[in-house]
């Protein structure tokens, strides 16, 4: 049970980091504005995503909310009752990232995305910290 306290703390820290970063972007960067953040590689480009990850199903993200809630609950149940310790951190990253984006979608109908990599002609999809945690968690699970 004490290990679960650690993972609950990680979960909350991820949510706080993501929500604070989105708050700062919402307060300081107008929608559609792009600013270089890191040596012309990492940019802030403020968008409001009303779809799913990477703006898939634009303006239809609300349709998937019940499914996302069910998946989050099932993953949380698995996490606390069946998950092997070696899988808990990456699963925690995925759960927290999903939860914090769900908070945004529930409260304002969209998710603030603002990070983008640009290297020469390459442009990554615009994402947020929650998306990054989900991606890292998924990659670690894939190779575990």
d(CA 26, CA 130): 16
Report CA 57 to chain centroid distance, whole Å.
17
d(CA 30, CA 28): 7
31-48 b/e with 16+ CB inside 10 Å = b? eeeeeeeeeeeebbbbbb
Rounded to whole angstroms, what are the CA distances from 7 to 16, 104, 135, 143? 14, 22, 18, 20
d(CA 22, CA 140): 25
Q: Is 113 considered catalytic here?
A: yes
Q: Catalytic: which of 18, 92, 104, 131?
A: 131
Q: Is 131 considered catalytic here?
A: yes
Q: Catalytic: which of 18, 92, 104, 113?
A: 113
Which residues participate in catalysis according to the annotation?
A: 113, 131
């Amino acid at each position: 049970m004490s290990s679960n306290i650690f993972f609950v703390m990680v979960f909350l820290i991820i949510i706080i980091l993501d929500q604070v970063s989105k708050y700062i972007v919402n307060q300081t960067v107008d929608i559609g504005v792009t600013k270089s953040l890191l040596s012309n590689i990492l940019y802030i480009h403020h968008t409001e995503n009303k779809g799913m990850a990477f703006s898939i199903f634009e303006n239809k993200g609300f349709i998937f909310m019940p499914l996302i809630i069910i998946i989050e609950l099932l993953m949380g149940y698995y996490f606390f009752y069946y998950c092997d310790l070696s899988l808990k951190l990456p699963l925690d990253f995925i759960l927290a990232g999903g939860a914090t984006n769900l908070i945004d979608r529930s409260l304002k109908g969209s998710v603030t995305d603002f990070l983008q990599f640009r290297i020469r002609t390459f442009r990554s999809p615009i994402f947020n910290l929650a998306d990054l945690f989900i991606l890292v968690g998924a990659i670690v699970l894939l190779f575990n």
